[in-house]
Structure 1
Amino acid sequence: MPGKADPDRARLRQDWEEAFGSPPPAYASVAFLRKAIAYEAQVKRHGGLPAATRRALSQIASGKPVEEAARRRLRPGAHLVRDWNGRSYQVEVQEKGFRLDGRTWPSLSAIARHITGTSWSGPRFFGLNDRTGGKG
């Protein structure tokens, strides 16, 4: 019924404050409160997200693309090499992008898309994370 308060809301607000140490967002739904509290309990029991994922989320939250975070780990002048369909591609890391075949690209993903013709994670394509995929 519209206008009727959910009896669980008061308990969930209390559980939220215990879990997070601050009041929940004013307009958070009961379903959201339940999920967030359950997730926080799971994190406390089993551990949270991997450090790389937390860093990427932090970059996104600060308004910077994840590619920019990967670029910071790679120093300008570094070279990435990837063999694909019988050709070797060499990418040079630059201060503001990546250089391949005389052209500067904004991201490794743009280069991977150019090389393969399909959507790829650039860091994954160039083997910069745990899972290097596809056929080479």
Structure 2
Amino acid sequence: MDKLKVAKHREKRFMKRRAPVLDLGALSDEISGLSKAGITDLRERWKTLYGREPSGHIGRSSLIRVIAYRLQEGAFGGLKPSAQRILDRVCDGRGEVGQEGIPQRRASAGTVLIREWRGVSHRVTVLDNDVVYRGRRYKSLSEVARAITGTRWSGPLFFGLKRRAKEAVRG
């Protein structure tokens, strides 16, 4: 086996999920010690963990974060196999395949959206290429949201078709 294959094999073996390490104090000490290490020591530690030299463009703070993540990953286990498969598909350029199960929330023609804003109920009817609000046509829900609030809003977010980033992460 050439060096590249050995490094990839080592990396795959390291990435597998593992049982938690019992000595959390040692792990904590090792991670906190990274901030005191010099750039040369950090690059050596990277090489030990990843089997290859880090890019010269990676700064000290990034080295510390990535090494700390790898140490925790080794102690607590890596990604679930299903999550790893999705990431592998994305890396292979098949990112669309991994998103098949994520439904897109869209309003089709004829949908009536109702949103209460400051005690007033606002009703919008979705058409094929535009929307109707109070008898007037608008090009997008964002234009309607701006007419209602007086500020720039994402129309789909304002009308509940899109979740906020925090909500999407938390589920």
Give TM class, smaller chain: 0.3 to 0.5
| TM-score under structure 2 length normalisation | 0.39
Which structure has the larger Rg over C-alpha atoms?
2
Q: Which has the higher strand share?
A: 1
| TM-score under structure 1 length normalisation | 0.46
Q: Which has the higher helix share?
A: 2
